[in-house]
Amino acid sequence: MLYKRSSELFVAANKVIPGGVNSPVRAFKGVGGTPIFVKEAKGAYLYDEDGNRLIDYINSWGPMILGHAYDPVVNAVIEKAKKGTSFGMPTELETQIAELAVSMVPNIDKIRFVNSGTEACMSAIRLARGYTKRDKIIKFSGCYHGHSDSFLIAAGSGLSTFGVPNSPGVTEGTAKDTLLANYNDIENVKALFEANKNEIAAIIIEPVAGNMGCIPPAKGFLEALRAVCSENEAMLIFDEVMTGFRLAKGGAQELYDIQADIVCFGKVIGGGLPVGAFAAREEIMNYLAPLGPVYQAGTLSGNPLAMAAGFEMLKALNSDAEIFNRLDQKTAYLEKGIHTVLTEANIQFTINRVGSMISVHFDANPVFDFETAKNGDNETFKKFFHGLLNRGVYIAPSAYETWFITDALSYKDLDFTIKAIEEVANEL
């Protein structure tokens, strides 16, 4: 395939946008080559500026769970836009989407809408800290909760239980309040609670990790976190920005039957517009301004276009009893196909999958945390990525990302993809 126009556009973008992109992963640094510039998209397909058609396995990193330019969402946004795009005042639509979200997700009474997953997670930990009157939080290495300072933290060295900044610009003062634990390692979490008695406000976790490839929680792990939090009067925050409205109507809380104290949303909840949200039981949410002392606000929060898109998306998911089964079956079919062709080609690999989240790691050993995720062979991944791209299949341009399956994919698309993977595997 040719990427002449994309290459030209990338050169132009680089002159006025750092790295030519507005979010780093888009720059293809993990795989090399030129980012693809998208012209338009419909259903399961992207159409780029050079006229190539790509089957899309990223789907805007999750939101397009029903396919691109999904008609009910598009029409709702158009109709809303004609009536004004922002007021900075309450609208009935905000209550309607809030009622629907609260009815779909277990264990939440109230929800506050923000503009991104980053904002949702940032606000959730502020709320948890304010409510518990404690400063420290535990996060897991390899989990991503957006780019706010408290989360851009790497594990400290040696005996230190403190985190250290993993981006310049994050202060050590901030980093010292974030403790790092290994995913799926409950003893690690217990040791942190032991060493920081009555200081930990919350654990924040992706209940299915999606930002180091897909990593499912080990059996009993989420239950154990729930128990540790309850024992220590700390809050359990589920960052369901990826898993919410994807793994089930009620997200990972429903799938694993675990109750979190605060739940964060993003991606699917906005139907492709910039939306995040966080939610909890009433007594916790009432601790937020204007009812309570914890401050949180947003000029464009609850924006009518964003709410219209999100509301149509949630209505569509809520009214289709088979949607999550169908997504699971399509993804299972893909998993089986990939497994067969990679095995036949003698490739060392591991596939992780939960519902419609799936990732392929080029390492034969189990992948269950950040360390094991890093063992994957990145050179093989790069060839795999470009081989698929050349055949019109677009997966995430990084070995550390999950693929997000959309219901717009047909079994014909899946067969095409498996065939492409077979061809690429034979060249690896």
Ligand X SMILES: *Cc1c(COP(=O)(O)O)cnc(C)c1O
Active site residues: 144, 239, 267
Two structure tokens written together for 358: 């799936």
Comparison of 17 and 195: residue with beta carbon closer to ligand X: 17
In angstroms, give the least distance from the CB of 123 to ligand X: 12
In angstroms, give the least distance from the CB of 387 to ligand X: 26
At residue 29, the 3 state secondary structure works out as coil
Question: Omega before 168 cis (within 30°)?
Answer: no
Binding positions for ligand X, rule: CB under 6 A? 116-118, 121, 144-146, 206, 210-211, 239, 241-242, 266, 276
Comparison of 122 and 409: residue with beta carbon closer to ligand X: 122
In angstroms, give the least distance from the CB of 184 to ligand X: 16
Annotate 57-72 with b (16+ C-beta within 10 A) or e (fewer).
Answer: bbbbbbbbbbbbebee
Helix (H) or strand (E) holding 428: none
Write the DSSP symbol of residue 60.
T
Comparison of 23 and 171: residue with beta carbon closer to ligand X: 23
Comparison of 80 and 139: residue with beta carbon closer to ligand X: 139
In angstroms, give the least distance from the CB of 61 to ligand X: 6
- Where does residue 48 rank: exposed (0-12), middle (13-18), buried (19+ CB within 10 A)? buried
Distances from the Cα of 24 to the Cα of 29, 85, 147, 357, 384, angstroms: 8, 29, 11, 21, 21
Comparison of 141 and 232: residue with beta carbon closer to ligand X: 141
In angstroms, give the least distance from the CB of 210 to ligand X: 6
Contact criterion met (CB below 8 Å) for 127 and 152: no
Contact criterion met (CB below 8 Å) for 297 and 306: no
